[in-house]
Amino acid sequence: MAEIGQDIIKAKQLLELGELVAIPTETVYGLAANALNPDAVASIFETKKRPAFDPLIIHTDSCSRVTDFVSEFPDSLKILAEAFWPGPLTLLLPRKSCIPDLVTSGLDRVAVRVPNHPLTQSLLASLDFPLAAPSANPFGYISPTAAAHVQKQLGDQIPYILDGGLCQVGLESTIVGLENEKVTVYRLGGLELSQLESLVGEVQVKTHSSSNPAAPGLLESHYAPRKRLILGDLDQLVSHYNQNGNDFAVLSFQTNFKEVPTNRQIQLSESGNLREAAQKLFAAMRELDELEVEFILSERLPEEGLGRAINDRLQRASAGN
């Protein structure tokens, strides 16, 4: 199994040797490799069993270093970077030739972000290359928000997990780029649309699922538990499947169902706090997925603030059901 610790020097040495290291961020844990080393990047795809047409996000420690990897930094996107980096914002920017095709799936733009976690910030500042780092989980499965999640899923395939505790945001970053000179959101995430619009005006949202995505995290089925996840009206679903005698678990926003055993249901936020719900989402899905049940019943949250991003993850988790 992987060694778990907080040794930045050890993580640095492994990455310089082309090895993979799991790293903490404020969003989810990432499976990191030297983004300028095609062989190391290929190891990410092999370890995650991730299709090569799904591009990766590269991580660095400051806005000033981004120009080492991109050929252009439009003013409107720079405004967002200066406001929200480090933080859960990823920008799609025209790449320089130093970024391997495998990182971008051959696309002209590279996804870049500056994560907000002290351990990973220190690690990135010590490196002379950016890190490619998708979520540290088997492709398509629930993203990890704790070192133990990474250990359980990939611990036998990587040498080291940098342990930064629980992720504070719990949802992947919001991905933003320009399309026809218009600020465009390609993936809803840990940064709310209202925060973006307060600086650059109205943005367009184009988060359509795709089998050939223009940005990371846009596949139709993603972030999914092994158990079937069914979205709908929980009152009706719980009543229906109780009458049918099915074994199920419940993932709700606030509601506690008296007819469901306590250990088979999780409320994301009893107080109705969307930030708390986002932080708990993936860990809750993972916990319910490990129960001896046939499927998981869930519901959409209010379509406001981080609720939109949470609903996006739930929709992708339930795709095909």
Summarize the confidence of residues 285-307 as an average pLDDT. 96
User: Which one, of 236, 251, 240, lies nearest residue 291 by Cα?
Assistant: 251
pLDDT, tens digit (0-9, with 9 covering 90-100), for 9-21 = 999 999 999 999 9
State the DSSP code for 319.
T
Quick one: pLDDT band at residue 140, thresholds 50, 70, 90?
confident
Determine whether 259 is exposed, middle or buried from the number of CB atoms within 10 Å of its CB (0-12, 13-18, 19+): exposed
CB 34 within 8 Å of CB 133: no
For residue range 179-202, what is the model confidence (pLDDT) as tens digits?
999 999 999 999 999 999 999 999
Q: Are strands 89-94 and 174-179 parallel, antiparallel or unpaired?
A: parallel
What's the CA gap between 247 and 241, in Å, rounded?
Answer: 8
CA angle (243 as vertex; 240, 246 as ends), nearest 5: 85
Residue 235 main-chain phi, psi, to 5 deg: -60, -45
Q: Residue 260, SS3?
A: coil
**Cα 182 from Cα 76, distance rounded (Å):** 9
Q: How is the chain split among helix, strand and coil, in percent rounded to 5?
A: 35, 20, 45
CB atoms within 10 A of CB 121: 18
Does the model's pTM come out above 0.85? yes
188 token code pair: 């809803």
- Structural domains in the chain, CATH included, are 3-205 (3.90.870.10), 228-317 (3.40.50.11030)
Q: Give the pLDDT score at 218.
A: 60
